């Protein structure tokens, strides 16, 4: 059978775990060939799933594709490097996504020919037409032009892209046992991950990144170096394999604080307050886009928007632009719990069994304190592979509660610590159960209205504002067109309590100042709330929120939101210099 088709790329919305994207839909409506034959349904669906994964460009879709679309033999062959391999395909074909041609070769394989505004790519596919699963996916050719994204930049190809991805993952690593184990399994060669010292080395890296005031990334021959300078100095050197799936084959960590050579980096000094405005204006040149609010000794000393809220129309960000704020709603949930404690309706020592008498035995002793302090043992999230979008797919509160309470614990409650967004989802559910109000209503009545937060609310709500009030997100994928929170549907219980909300730096300053000043929380409740200092929240839809604050009674802070996440070394340095500026309380 011989068939060949070309189809235009359509704008797509991220679909299910099967990653069946618009390409699949487009293939299904292709005109017939002259011979009256088009690709059979199994081919259309499989190629559509592959195109959906490539177009999404994110790790979630790569993982779902690897889990659901490979034959057993191919899955075994790729092993733990499958996700890294498909991530590299996403990177290498990025500039070639536009038109798609499907052609059957004489040997029975399929040729997938891609052409886009900045290049071309060809992939050879072996597909089991009985099961619809791939036996092999091989990138045969990428034209030079396809290696650049918009503006001639874009992500590096092949091994270089994998190195970049590994370094970014190292920088975001936490000491949590589950995360360390996941990093070893997904990113390291079998030989390296079997070495007994590796978990300890990774935890050292995690401690260094959490306190780093400076981050440097350098190349040193076949090695790449992540230099971390701060509370714990560390120079992390990795060597990535030359063949797919480009796993880390060597890792060394030097914590002497005096490492020299290509990978060393001098500590970044706190940004002087007098240089704040000029530094932020210069940051626009390397891609900074967002709104910044700086408060010094209780006075707003800088409040300005930078870059574009909408690149297509040229609409700039300003001080009223509304952004997705990532996981910052964790602070709203904490405040809600402390307010109920202040009213005598809750105690921090209340056990889960008070609210869920039929909870499994291993969860019954989890207390509100465990949930609030990260020691519950609950996993980080409660999505399922069957959820079409792991943030945005709608599930009811009852389903979220069932999933969370039936999840396997990472450790015995109170015996360890690990960030859990699911814990804050359960806390939000408890707020509803105790108050008798919807979570969003409780926040609105007790916090947002009293302090004047008129541009804060959940996904799916335009807050009575025009579309132009919202920043468009430029991230790994777009969940809608335009990619703004009012278009994403109401906030799901997949993330409620720890995400799914929008705001502005000024609204959030009003909230934090109300918490700090004792306007709403008083006494022990206020002190408990103020234990959390600086925080960061981000989404793969292109948004980042940073709250740099020493905590306690400090009345100096910096809040900034971004609607683009440029992969530029100055991006990391700027965030850390702003945080250090607040911590250092510089005079000039």
Cis peptide bond N-terminal to 452, omega within 30: no
Cα distance between residue 375 and residue 413, in whole Å: 6
Q: Where are the alpha helices (DSSP H) in 258-318?
A: 276-283
| Dihedral angle sign, alpha carbons of residues 316, 322, 326, 332 | positive
Measured CA to CA, the distance from residue 73 to residue 182 in angstroms comes to 23
* 420/404 Cα distance (integer angstroms): 11
Handedness of CA 90, 92, 94, 99 (dihedral sign): negative
d(CA 406, CA 421): 15
Residue carrying structure tokens 């290049």: 119
Handedness of CA 498, 502, 506, 510 (dihedral sign): negative
Of 329, 324, 325, give the one whose Cα is nearest residue 424: 329
Which of 102, 571, 496, 111 has its CA nearest to residue 329?
496
Q: How many angstroms separate the CA atoms of 271 and 570, rounded? A: 13
The number of residues making up the chain comes to: 588
Going residue by residue through the chain, which has 588 residues, state the pLDDT in tens, using 9 for 90 and above.
232 333 332 322 222 222 333 333 333 322 233 333 445 778 878 888 898 888 877 888 888 899 999 998 898 888 888 888 898 888 888 777 766 777 777 777 888 888 765 677 888 899 988 888 999 998 877 764 433 333 333 333 457 767 877 887 787 777 777 778 878 877 888 888 888 888 888 888 887 776 555 556 666 567 888 877 665 678 888 988 877 667 889 988 887 643 333 333 344 578 888 899 999 999 999 899 999 999 998 999 999 999 999 999 999 999 999 999 998 999 999 999 999 999 999 999 999 999 999 999 999 999 999 999 989 999 888 988 778 888 999 999 999 999 999 988 878 999 877 778 999 999 999 999 999 999 999 999 999 999 999 999 999 999 999 999 999 999 877 999 999 999 999 999 999 999 999 999 999 999 999 999 999 999 999 999 988 766 777 787 889 888 888 777 788 899 999 999 776 767 767 877 787 777 665 444
Structural domains in the chain, sorted by start:
4-155 (no CATH), 160-254 (3.10.450), 274-584 (3.40.710.10)
Q: CA 267 to CA 1: how far, in whole Å? A: 64
172 contacts: CB under 8 Å, gap ≥ 6: 209
E strands in 231-368: 234-240, 248-254, 290-296, 299-306, 308-310, 315-316, 323-324
The DSSP 8-state label assigned to residue 175 in this structure reads S
Nearest CA to 371 out of 412, 417, 423, 328 is that of 423
> Which of 529, 542, 544, 553 is closest to 575 using CA atoms?
544
Across 213-229, b (16+ Cβ under 10 Å) vs e yields: bbbbbbeeeebbbbbbb
Give the separation between CA 315 and CA 335, rounded to whole angstroms.
Answer: 35
Rounded Cα gap, residues 490 and 504, in angstroms: 19
**Axis-axis angle for helices 177-187, 198-210 (nearest 10):** 110
By the 8 A CB rule, do 114 and 120 touch? Answer: yes
Contact yes or no for 488/475 (Cβ under 8 A) = no
Sheet holding 248-254, edge to edge: 212-220, 223-230, 234-240, 248-254
**Six-digit token pair at 181?**
């184990």
Which stretches of 109-260 are assigned E, i.e. beta strand? 110-116, 119-128, 133-142, 212-220, 223-230, 234-240, 248-254
DSSP helix/strand/coil, 329: helix
CA count, 13 A, side-chain hemisphere, 337: 27
Helices (H) and strands (E) counted in the chain, each on its own, are 20, 19
Is residue 151 a contact partner of residue 141, using CB atoms and an 8 Å limit? Answer: no
Residue that the structure tokens 């704040």 belong to? 276
> Can you give the pLDDT at residue 506?
98
Q: Which pLDDT value is given to residue 483?
A: 96
How many other CB atoms are found less than 10 A from the CB of residue 177?
A: 14
Question: Cα separation of 472 and 408, whole Å?
Answer: 37
pLDDT at 31: 29
Neighbours of 530 (CB within 10 A): 19
148, 156 contact by CB (below 8 A): no
């Amino acid at each position: 059978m011989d068939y060949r088709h070309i189809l235009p790329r359509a704008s797509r919305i991220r679909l299910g775990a099967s990653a069946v994207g618009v390409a699949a839909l487009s293939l299904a409506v292709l005109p017939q060939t002259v011979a009256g034959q088009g690709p059979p349904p199994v081919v259309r669906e499989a190629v559509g799933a592959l195109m959906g994964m490539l177009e999404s460009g994110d790790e979630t879709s790569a993982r779902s594709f690897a889990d659901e679309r490979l034959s057993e033999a191919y899955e075994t062959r790729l092993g733990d490097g499958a996700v890294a391999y498909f991530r590299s395909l996403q990177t290498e074909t990025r500039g070639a996504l536009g038109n798609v041609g499907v052609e059957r070769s004489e040997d029975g394989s399929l040729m997938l020919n891609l052409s886009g505004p900045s290049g071309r790519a060809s992939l050879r596919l072996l597909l089991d037409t009985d099961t619809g699963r791939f036996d092999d996916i091989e990138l045969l050719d990428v034209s030079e032009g396809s290696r650049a994204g918009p503006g001639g930049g874009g992500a590096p190809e092949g091994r270089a892209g994998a190195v970049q991805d590994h370094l970014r993952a190292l920088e975001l690593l936490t000491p949590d046992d589950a995360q360390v184990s996941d990093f070893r399994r997904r990113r390291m060669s079998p030989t390296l991950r079997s070495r007994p010292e590796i978990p300890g080395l990774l935890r050292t890296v995690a401690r260094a990144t959490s306190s780093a005031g400076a981050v440097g990334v350098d190349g040193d021959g076949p090695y790449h170096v992540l230099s971390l300078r701060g509370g714990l100095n560390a120079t992390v050197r990795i060597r990535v394999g030359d063949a797919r799936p480009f796993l880390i084959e060597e890792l060394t960590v030097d914590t002497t604080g005096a490492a020299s050579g290509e990978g060393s980096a001098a500590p970044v000094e706190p940004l002087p307050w007098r240089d704040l405005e000029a530094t932020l204006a210069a940051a626009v040149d390397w891609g900074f886009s967002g709104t910044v609010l700086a408060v010094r000794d209780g006075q707003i000393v800088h409040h300005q928007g930078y870059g574009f809220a909408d690149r297509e129309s040229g609409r700039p960000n300003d001080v009223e632009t509304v952004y997705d704020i990532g996981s910052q709603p964790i602070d709203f949930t904490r405040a809600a719990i402390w307010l109920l404690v202040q009213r005598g309706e809750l105690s921090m020592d209340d056990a889960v069994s008070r609210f869920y008498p039929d909870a499994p035995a291993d969860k019954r002793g989890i207390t509100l304190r465990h949930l609030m302090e990260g020691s519950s043992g609950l996993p980080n999230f409660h999505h399922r592979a069957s959820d079409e979008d792991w943030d945005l797919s709608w599930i009811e509160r009852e389903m979220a509660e069932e999933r969370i309470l039936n999840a396997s614990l990472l450790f015995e409650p109170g015996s360890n610590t690990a960030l859990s967004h699911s814990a804050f989802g359960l806390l939000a559910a408890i707020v509803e159960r105790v108050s008798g109000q919807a979570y969003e209503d409780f926040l609105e009545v007790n916090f947002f209205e009293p302090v004047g937060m008129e541009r804060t609310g959940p996904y799916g709500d335009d807050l009575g504002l025009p579309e132009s009030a919202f920043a468009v997100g430029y991230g790994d994928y777009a969940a809608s067109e335009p990619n703004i929170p009012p278009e994403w549907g109401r906030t799901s219980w997949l993330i409620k309590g720890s995400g799914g909300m929008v705001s502005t730096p000024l609204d959030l300053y009003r909230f934090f100042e109300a918490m700090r000043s004792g306007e709403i929380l008083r006494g022990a409740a206020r002190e408990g709330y103020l234990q959390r200092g600086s925080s960061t929240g981000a989404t793969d839809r292109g948004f980042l929120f940073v709250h740099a604050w020493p905590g306690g009674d400090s009345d100096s802070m910096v809040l900034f939101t971004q609607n683009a996440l440029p992969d530029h070394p100055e991006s990391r340095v700027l965030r850390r210099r702003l945080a250090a500026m607040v911590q250092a309380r510089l005079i000039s």
